[in-house]
Amino acid sequence: MEQAFWSTAACALSLLLYALALMVLIRKRHSHLPPGPKGLPMVGSLHRLGSRAHEALAALAETHGSLMTLQLGFVTTIVVSSSEMAKEVLQKNNLAFSGCTVIEVMKIKSHHNGSLVWAQIGPRWQALRRLCNTQLFTPQRLDTLRALRYQKVHEMVELIRQTKQVVDIGRVAFVIALNLVSNMIFSTEMVNPKSGLA
């Protein structure tokens, strides 16, 4: 009986020491991050956001400053809440903060390798960006598609005018935008605006 007590106590003590060592390692890893509220295990600071996250973030910024760290579940998030700090992050230190996290779904068939959205900053990303700026999004290219944009907006207005019931504007705008993009890329419409398939 006494031996079982001591083995249980030794096991509990070793688990406690392991948990303390893990906490020290986590704190060392996050020691270079800006200050922020302490989070709960596994949840982080999600409980502090509530239903009006923008107000909660403004209140947290008054306490922790305009640059703070939030632990949202297992994701560490840096929140910038002032125009001066946003200018510092986005203009002066943009390369340090650039590069997005590629979600696992995009990695499955290596879709992230051919994407401008998921590409990391580097020579390939710069070449894709240069191509977009010089070939795809030039004022001349956008002007050639002006008539198509006007036509699609006119279709949307006519579709709303012809409907004799309540119209979900968000759905109609989505269908028209989808057809506009498919017309620009594939020269054909993907969805009939009057059908419910979109």
Print the SS3 string covering the chain. Answer: CHHHHHHHHHHHHHHHHHHHHHHHHHHHHCCCCCCCCCCECCCECHHHHCCCHHHHHHHHHHHHCCEEEEEECCEEEEEECCHHHHHHHHHHCHHHHCCCCCCHHHHCCCHHHHCCCCCCCCHHHHHHHHHHHHHHCCHHHHHHCHHHHHHHHHHHHHHHHHCCCCCCHHHHHHHHHHHHHHHHHHCCCCCCCCCCCC
Domain span holding position 93: 34-98
pLDDT of residue 9: 67
pLDDT of residue 198: 60
Whether 69 and 27 map to the same domain: the answer is: no
Whether 40 and 93 map to the same domain: the answer is: yes
Whether 40 and 90 map to the same domain: the answer is: yes
pTM: 0.46
Q: What is the number of structural domains in the chain?
A: 3
pLDDT of residue 105: 77
Encode the chain (198 residues) as per-residue pLDDT tens digits: 677 766 776 666 676 666 666 565 655 555 678 888 887 777 788 888 888 888 888 888 888 888 888 888 888 888 888 888 888 888 887 777 666 677 777 777 777 777 777 777 778 888 888 888 888 778 888 888 888 889 888 888 888 888 878 888 888 888 888 888 888 878 888 887 777 666
